[in-house]
Structure 1
Amino acid sequence: MATPGVEKTLAFAEFDTTLMSAPKDSPWILNGAVTDEFNPSYQVLERLLSIPVRSKAATRSGRFAQGVDTWLAHELRRAGFDADLVWPRTEAPRVLSKDILELLRKLPERLSEEVHDAIVAGKAGSTDARILGRAYMKQTDVVMTHWSTGPELLLSTKAMTSSFGKNLSNRYEEAYGDAANLRARYPLAAVGFFFVQRATILDSEPAAFRRTVDMIRKLRDFGDGFGYTATGLLLVDWDEDVEDPAVRCVHGPVPQDIAAPQFLNAMVDEVLKVTPIDLHEAARARRAGEVAPLPSHEAVDEQQEALF
């Protein structure tokens, strides 16, 4: 039996082909027109989540939730943030300091490959981003950080495909405690919570869905500094009676104030609001409606050096 770390590594690798072909266009340009609303690439998420569903792994090994993490990291890269700063990365190791990546790029090719393999086999690289909060270490699902800035974005995700009412209270308690734990240590970071549920909740447990909507709203910061910067909810579903099920997003029942577009807008805007204007220039340009290219490694290196 594979160890949990190996299982997570293999799970992320399953998503790589889909991510490689996924569009990297600006999320604030839709059909050539500039919009103020973030336009998530839902089709990418549907393809990612169809992978564990088709292999009957939607409720085990965390592979379904890792598909959500992979998608949200992809959306942050679409927003213009540097790919090396956003974890999980698009290749193994999924969690690795940008400084080490810069070193690998400067080494001779053969030596770079040897060091990379040693990192993957050892403990320098990881599939988990463990962040110290005020009271305890928290495994955070999507992170944007650099040693010179500290964590700028911390995002927790949860996926629930069954037993909704039975488990909802536990998820609420865990989420609220995690928000207080992280925000107490990183008050300027954008700290978010994104919840994905299977749309069967609408028919099987409608009361649990109403509680979910209420929970997502109440997990937000009311001005006391303890809640999340932003929270979001997304419903997905699939047909289990077909041989090759495809996941689809179900948007209609989710109120706009807790839907994915407002969530991603709020997370991006919070990061840009509390950082100097010469950082995250590509993200600022895309947010302003420009067709800005994604940042190159050299451009981001210059921005980091400007901090000193």
Structure 2
Amino acid sequence: MAAEPSIRSKAWAIFDRICADAAPEGVHTNPWIRDGDGTVRYEPDFPVLQRLLGVPLYLEAPTTTGVPALALDVWVSYELRRAGFAPDATWPRAEHPRILPAAIANLLRALKGKERDQLAKRLANPTPMKGVVSASANVLGKNYLKQVDVVMSDWDTGPELLISTKRMDSSFGKNAANRVEESYGDAKNLRLRHPLAALGFVYGLRSTILTEEPKKARWLIDLLQKLGREDDAYHAVALIMIEYGANLATIPPGDEAVDDGDADNPLVAAGLDDDTLPDEGEEVPATAIDEALAGLPAVQIRHDAVPDGLQPARFLELMIRRVIDATPVDRHEDARERLEAPR
């Protein structure tokens, strides 16, 4: 009898279906909107974000699985594909393996028949081929390697976009400051080696902080705003205020939310240990995915509790425009066309 797929494999299967349903046959909606006054703005697909955030709730996934924070990574990468960036260029990809260098993707497309099937099978192995594909992206900063959650990079450009995500659903007073302080140091480390890369930070926060610890909420929001104003840190910061039912608990008390794995294993983040995830790529029955999609808990995004400077729409617009502005006109042509032809 086959083993039961892990929580992480189940989450990936549901995440992938949500993103695929939102982009039938790989065709994404254009996120750029032209207002009546001629202003062009970015409009994120928040319904997809709400569904993705419901997945860890449905699976009752603890922080140690990486699934709660992973929902943010998947959404940001999905938005980059909506913006017109190449599907293989935005990591995590919409299919396994999640990190696939462009050169390998091009090779796979160029091969035919048996050769292509053999390579595709090797790449899709649940245990990543070390040095070829990966379950996570480690990027060298000025002083140390850092696991980065959402990445756009290629050998001939270096990193073009680096986005770190954090999530916190409980224990706000105990850990909120630590998460931001860590992120500030990570920003300086990455920015000093990759000054042209668009560097961003996305913080997911459960809305209960507004009533349970309002002073901490005001302090944290103020700190996040300041984090995006530093000349040598992040180019943009976003706050996603997540609201869901009191009867649902993503994070067990005392198991505070962090990013997608580097706090669980600092040797992985530093590039000193193997980052393979043996449960990646496990097959999940379509019926189980359908059942999950039908039972996803309701999640809302509290835009009203987020200042304009931290709104996700502003964040995505700044990051995407920065990538486009920092590259020649023959790069990212689809992304440029989408921006120049808004809805």
What TM-score, normalized to structure 2? 0.78
Letter of the structure 1 residue corresponding to residue 165 of structure 2: T
Question: Following the alignment from structure 1 to structure 2, what is the Cα–Cα distance between the partners of residues 194 and 244?
Answer: 23
Question: Which of 292, 298, 302 is the equivalent residue of 1:246?
Answer: 298
Letter of the structure 2 residue corresponding to residue 55 of structure 1: L
Query: 1:137 is matched with which residue?
Result: 145
CA RMSD of aligned residues (A): 2.1
Question: Following the alignment from structure 1 to structure 2, what is the Cα–Cα distance between the partners of residues 115 and 33?
Answer: 51
2:113 equivalent to 1:109: yes
Query: 2:74 is matched with which residue?
Result: 70
Question: Following the alignment from structure 1 to structure 2, what is the Cα–Cα distance between the partners of residues 276 and 264?
Answer: 20
- The SS at the match of 1:15 is helix
Query: 1:13 is matched with which residue?
Result: 13
Question: Which of 123, 127, 134 is the equivalent residue of 2:135?
Answer: 127
> Matched residue pairs, number?
284
Correspondences of 1:146-165 after superposition (within 5 Å): 146-165=154-173
2:53 equivalent to 1:54: no
Question: Which of 209, 221, 241 is the equivalent residue of 1:235?
Answer: 241
Deviations 1:141-181 (A, max 9, x none): 00011111111000000011111121011112110001000
Over 3 Å counting, the alpha-carbon distance change for 1:285 and 1:148 in structure 2 is: same
Query: 1:22 is matched with which residue?
Result: 22
Displacement over 6 Å in runs of 4+: 30-34
Question: Which of 167, 175, 196 is the equivalent residue of 1:167?
Answer: 175
- The SS at the match of 2:42 is coil
Letter of the structure 1 residue corresponding to residue 304 of structure 2: G
How far the C-alpha of 1:10 sits from its partner, in A, is 5.0
Query: 1:262 is matched with which residue?
Result: 314
Deviations 1:204-244 (A, max 9, x none): 11112112211211212433xx2101111010111143886
Letter of the structure 2 residue corresponding to residue 14 of structure 1: I
How far the C-alpha of 1:255 sits from its partner, in A, is 0.8
How far the C-alpha of 1:51 sits from its partner, in A, is 1.1
Question: Which of 323, 326, 330 is the equivalent residue of 1:271?
Answer: 323
Question: Following the alignment from structure 2 to structure 1, what is the Cα–Cα distance between the partners of residues 63 and 142?
Answer: 31
Worse-superposed segment, 232-241 or 158-167: 232-241
Question: Following the alignment from structure 1 to structure 2, what is the Cα–Cα distance between the partners of residues 7 and 194?
Answer: 24
- The SS at the match of 1:37 is strand
Question: Following the alignment from structure 1 to structure 2, what is the Cα–Cα distance between the partners of residues 71 and 285?
Answer: 22
Question: Following the alignment from structure 1 to structure 2, what is the Cα–Cα distance between the partners of residues 75 and 35?
Answer: 20
Correspondences of 1:284-299 after superposition (within 5 Å): 284-290=336-342
How far the C-alpha of 1:198 sits from its partner, in A, is 0.6
- The SS at the match of 2:304 is coil
Letter of the structure 2 residue corresponding to residue 287 of structure 1: L
Identity of aligned residues (%): 43
Of the two structures, which has the highest relative contact order with CA contacts closer than 8 Å and spacing of 6 or more? 2
- The SS at the match of 1:278 is coil
How far the C-alpha of 1:138 sits from its partner, in A, is 0.5
Worse-superposed segment, 114-123 or 230-239: 114-123
Question: Following the alignment from structure 2 to structure 1, what is the Cα–Cα distance between the partners of residues 309 and 244?
Answer: 25
How far the C-alpha of 1:31 sits from its partner, in A, is 9.9
- The SS at the match of 1:157 is strand
2:94 equivalent to 1:90: yes
How far the C-alpha of 1:29 sits from its partner, in A, is 2.7
Question: Following the alignment from structure 2 to structure 1, what is the Cα–Cα distance between the partners of residues 199 and 208?
Answer: 28
Question: Following the alignment from structure 2 to structure 1, what is the Cα–Cα distance between the partners of residues 34 and 149?
Answer: 28
Over 3 Å counting, the alpha-carbon distance change for 1:10 and 1:146 in structure 2 is: farther
How far the C-alpha of 1:260 sits from its partner, in A, is 0.4
